[in-house]
Amino acid sequence: MTELMRSQRLDPNLIREAAAQAVGRLKLLANEQRMLLLSQLTHGEMCVNDLEKRLKIYQPTLSQQLSVLRREGVVKTRHQGKHIFYSIADSSVLKLLVCVYRLSCPED
């Protein structure tokens, strides 16, 4: 138990809301293509063509997964000419990705 949990009684409704939000974010990350997309976007804004080339995720799947992330407010878009650039819009997802990376990726 954390120090906060020992020192205070937490409101069950607040815990329920936080749990629901956490589960929603974890469900988004529970898809390999979305995880790969978000991992690339941690390095900064990228256009669809670059994501497709780097990740070898082809247009139909890429568009579908980006649409899910956009609908959930995890990524935002910027249009420049014919190109659409994506970037991470939700800093809590970025923090979660860092935790996942630390737990699952080999150390340098």
Q: Which domain holds residue 73?
A: 32-103
Let me know if residue 25 belongs to a domain. no
Which of 89, 96, 54 shows the shortest CA–CA distance to 74?
A: 89
CATH number at residue 49: 1.10.10.10
pLDDT per position as a tens digit, 47-95: 999 999 999 999 899 999 999 999 999 999 999 999 999 999 988 888 8
Token pair of 89 as six digits: 């819009």
Give 3's Cβ-side CA count (13 Å radius).
Answer: 0
**107 vs 25 pLDDT, higher one:** 25
Give the integer Cα–Cα distance in Å for 59 and 21.
Answer: 29
Let me know if residue 26 belongs to a domain. no
Q: pTM (2 decimals)?
A: 0.79
For range 34-49, the mean pLDDT? 93
CA angle (64 as vertex; 68, 35 as ends), nearest 5:
65
Q: Phi first, then psi: give them for residue 46, nearest 5 degrees.
A: -140, 150
